[in-house]
Amino acid sequence: MPDQRSLPVRVLDHPASYVAHGLLALAGLFYFGYLVATWVPFAIKQLKSSYLIFFFHFPNALNTFVFFGGCLGGSVLFLITKQPRWDRWARCSAEVGVMAGFVLLATGMTWAKAAWDHWWVWDDPRLMSAAVMMLTYLGYLTLQAGIEDPHKRRTFSAVFGVLAFLNIPIVHKAIEWFGETSHPPKLDGLSDPSIIATRWFGVLVFLILYLLLLRWRQSRLTTTEEIEDALDRIRRLEEAPR
Amino acid sequence: MPDQRSLPVRVLDHPASYVAHGLLALAGLFYFGYLVATWVPFAIKQLKSSYLIFFFHFPNALNTFVFFGGCLGGSVLFLITKQPRWDRWARCSAEVGVMAGFVLLATGMTWAKAAWDHWWVWDDPRLMSAAVMMLTYLGYLTLQAGIEDPHKRRTFSAVFGVLAFLNIPIVHKAIEWFGETSHPPKLDGLSDPSIIATRWFGVLVFLILYLLLLRWRQSRLTTTEEIEDALDRIRRLEEAPR
Amino acid sequence: MNPLRAYFSLVRWDWAREWKRKETLIAMAMMSLITLFIFSVAMPPVQEVLEDTRGGILWVTFVLAGTVGIDRAFRGDGDGRLLTGLLLSPVGRGTVYYARITSTMLGVVLMEAMTLGLFMLLFDQSLEWEGLLVVVGVTLAATLGFVAVGVILSAMTWSLRGGDAILRILLFPLLIPLLSAAVHATNEAFAGRPIGFQPVAVIGAFDLVFIGAGQLLFEFVVDGTETGT
Amino acid sequence: MNPLRAYFSLVRWDWAREWKRKETLIAMAMMSLITLFIFSVAMPPVQEVLEDTRGGILWVTFVLAGTVGIDRAFRGDGDGRLLTGLLLSPVGRGTVYYARITSTMLGVVLMEAMTLGLFMLLFDQSLEWEGLLVVVGVTLAATLGFVAVGVILSAMTWSLRGGDAILRILLFPLLIPLLSAAVHATNEAFAGRPIGFQPVAVIGAFDLVFIGAGQLLFEFVVDGTETGT
């Protein structure tokens, strides 16, 4: 049977592309670490943990949004096209987004502990919105795991994927306004060009890394679902009246 | 068809016995009102509402216990004998008990407002236990109303009827111990013989009144259930293979 | 059929059904009563503490008891005939959605009115007329958003195994902005202060976004349900 | 079969089943997380207020999340095969009851451990070693009573329409003395004071009364279920 898939799909599915992607991510991470360790000005390094952690916090914050946005995109496209692959895209994006969110929360909490001596700061709108976002997307994954019928599962998850994303800006505004008003001091002086460049490079590196994860999860899920589909079709053929 | 019921049952079911019971209750209530208005010492009457209400509060408190005890008795007897009439006894006792409980709470709240200027006193263990008891027995009635299968309904309600009663002493002790400690002043000087006699007479009068209610509810419920049983048996006969 | 007439007849039909059995109303009222008592046991019901907790007690009670009603918005007799029946009727799905929001909200608002009265009586709270107006207005507006998003989720979860828990897991995180605005406004109103623009903005935005999205998405939920069962 | 061996094999079997899917554990953990966040939004998470509310926040969270697990104690795959299967097995009903208490309690205690840790981290609370021991002891003792009465009620309500709401309506009022004792003891422990004899007495009495009554009544609940479905 000749391979009927289009050229880009065949290239992306080839093992070599995974290896290349992985090597790229690895190289990026090393160079990122090198930049953090050597390039950014020494003055701010005195903040120690709260400073170093920032370069891991910021890229994960942005990437959390990117992948939750990916989940929104997949959900909308699934609702329009009804193609299972958009559901898989949305689901895997949510998984990777939740992972990035965990890194975001963990680095945020470490930072909070170092800077303000509390693990958690209820009135930091960014930390709180991230946590509420995480709760919402953990709910999304619970929903995906909790429905057996495939069409129902995909549709309902997509609907919730849209609602979940719509809520994010409202959550952020509400917590900014109604959180307690004992604002802890914020870190300043992060505008040195080397810092800006390094943190945006970090965003790119983590994006590459998480895209690798996304591809891996997607290909696993595709295989599983295709096998299930095939088994389903075989069973229906066997049961059908001749 | 000759009446096959035993003599006491026939006497109790006769309309004349209801009329007699009703007249007794009415006469009792009038005499009770007369006692409250004239016999008890004038000194305490200066407490006005908080004083008068006491003679309605106390009998209802005791009768609430009596009828919730009746519910317990009916529940236990149903579990042992499996006879539907004990379930009816328990259910109607709970209904009458809840009614007495409402009067208890209403008079208690009026008293609290008059004496301490608050409608509700969270640290009065008697008021609080009464409220928790009411919640529990409202739950009992919800359960009775929420199950269709008769055997299931009777069994489950009886089980809950036992649990509900067992909880009462624990509730009372817990609230006495852990309620907030800003105890409001209690009324004293209620030990005059005329007061004691009047309030116990009140207990008797309300007991007679509520027993009338209980009989009325029971006879209605018995009729309903017997009709349902008969319809059920007819349906089963019609459906049975000849 | 004229959508407006269809809407009113659906709401009337819903209410005739619920009013006959009152099961959902009673369940909501019981949950509200019980929640108030649990709070009085779990947190000291004294004035100094209540000043910080009254809005929270009230709104957590609203949400916990209201969710009982929302959970049942599509359950009907428990076998799904309700939603199927609604969809077979010659009525647009937007109409079904709005009718369902309306009748669910009626029940929830009744429960909230009872809860508010009881709360003020039992916890010895009082409100000026303006404060009462603010609380009523905020409650109505926030309940609209609560029910609008709840109904969509309820349409998705009622048929699932463990659906009542899933409904709560999906619904409560979405409600957090609504809750924080409503709690803030309620506390301000009880303290006799003006609530300002911010809670109104958050609640308004929530209502608009989720009613709009809800109407669009209800269509898809219905499609998912139809092929699913 | 030897009741003790039967008991252990039932508990093991339950846990193997739950551990494979983790559905109930995840649902409980999510409910606990969400409840903690709702409290932080509804009541100011500042130290002065928390001194009066921390025991309450903790225990209301325990009860709300734990009830999700208790609600599912007999649901199994949702079609009642679990309870029926258990009763067909050659095991005394008392053994089934205690095994079910044990495995439900394991799940609830896991959730509580997570909740306690997260609560102390997020709300910035700390406990001395003795205080921690007291909190753990009180939590275990109170959870035993909570689960013992919850399991009986769950066996009654799981098959009813709207059973999850009925379970809560029946269970929560019964829990009020347990809750007030546990909240009181937890607050004292966090404040570094001795808890005294009273909470121990109330929780102990609750445990004894409801485990005793539960074992006796479980028999009847099973009879009711068998003829009912």
Could you report the per-residue pLDDT of C99-137, keeping only the tens digit for each?
889 999 999 999 999 999 999 998 988 888 888 999 999
pLDDT confidence of residue A166: 93
pLDDT at position B43 over 70: no
pLDDT at position D71 over 60: yes
The alpha-carbon radius of gyration of chain B (Å, integer) is: 21
pLDDT confidence of residue D212: 92
pLDDT confidence of residue C83: 67
Contact C45 B122 (CB under 8 A): yes
pLDDT at position D63 over 90: yes
pLDDT at position A78 over 50: yes
CB under 8 Å to C95, separation ≥6 — which residues?
C3, C6, C7, C10
Reported confidence tier of residue D119, pLDDT bands at 50, 70, 90: very high
- Concatenate the DSSP letters of all residues of chain C into one string: --HHHHHHHHHHHHHHHHHHH-HHHHHHHHHHHHHHHHHHHHS---HHHHHHHHHHHHHHHHHHHHHHHHHTTTTTTTTSHHHHHHHHSSS-HHHHHHHHHHHHHHHHHHHHHHHHHHHHHHTT----HHHHHHHHHHHHHHHHHHHHHHHHHHHHHTTSTTHHHHHHHHHHHHHHHHHHHHHHHHHHHHTT----HHHHHHHHHHHHHHHHHHHHHHHHHHHHHHHH-
Where residue A121 falls (left for φ over 0; alpha for ψ -120 to 50; beta otherwise) is beta
Contact C174 A136 (CB under 8 A): yes
* C-alpha distance from D121 to closest chain C C-alpha (Å): 20
pLDDT at position D151 over 90: yes
Across the range A96-114, mean pLDDT stands at 88
Cβ contact B–A (≥3 pairs, < 8 Å): no
pLDDT tens digits, one per residue of D8-23: 888 888 888 888 878 8
pLDDT at position A124 over 80: no
Reported confidence tier of residue D141, pLDDT bands at 50, 70, 90: very high
Mean pLDDT, chain C, integer: 88
pLDDT tens digits, one per residue of A161-184: 999 999 988 888 888 787 654 444
* C-alpha distance from D47 to closest chain A C-alpha (Å): 12
* C-alpha distance from C1 to closest chain D C-alpha (Å): 34
pLDDT tens digits, one per residue of A4-58: 677 777 777 777 888 888 888 888 888 788 777 777 665 555 555 566 777 888 8
Interface of C with D in 67-86 (CB under 8 A): 68, 71-72, 75, 77-78
Of the segments B14-18, B51-55, C116-120, which one has the largest average pLDDT value?
C116-120
Contacts of C35 in chain D (CB under 8 A): 172
Reported confidence tier of residue C224, pLDDT bands at 50, 70, 90: confident
What interface predicted TM-score (ipTM) does this complex get?
0.88
Reported confidence tier of residue A74, pLDDT bands at 50, 70, 90: very high
Mean pLDDT, chain A, integer: 82
Choose among C175, C220, C207, C11: nearest CA to C98: C11
Name the closest residue on chain C to residue B145, using Cα atoms.
C23
Residues A111 and A234: their CA atoms lie apart, in Å, by 55
Name the closest residue on chain C to residue A125, using Cα atoms.
C177
pLDDT higher at C64 or D79: C64
pLDDT at position B189 over 60: no
Residues D151 and D166: their CA atoms lie apart, in Å, by 14
pLDDT confidence of residue A66: 93
Cβ atoms C184, C197 nearer than 8 A:
no
Contact D162 C31 (CB under 8 A): no
pLDDT at position B186 over 70: no
pLDDT at position D68 over 80: yes
A139 touches chain C (CB under 8 A): yes
* C-alpha distance from D160 to closest chain A C-alpha (Å): 22
pLDDT tens digits, one per residue of B131-160: 999 999 999 999 998 888 888 899 999 999
Contacts of C183 in chain D (CB under 8 A): 41-42
pLDDT at position D89 over 90: no
Choose among A97, A100, A164: nearest CA to C173: A164
Contact C52 D63 (CB under 8 A): no
pLDDT at position A137 over 90: yes
Fill in the DSSP letter of residue D176.
Answer: H
Contact D40 A122 (CB under 8 A): yes
pLDDT confidence of residue D229: 41
- How many CB pairs (< 8 A) connect B and C? 31
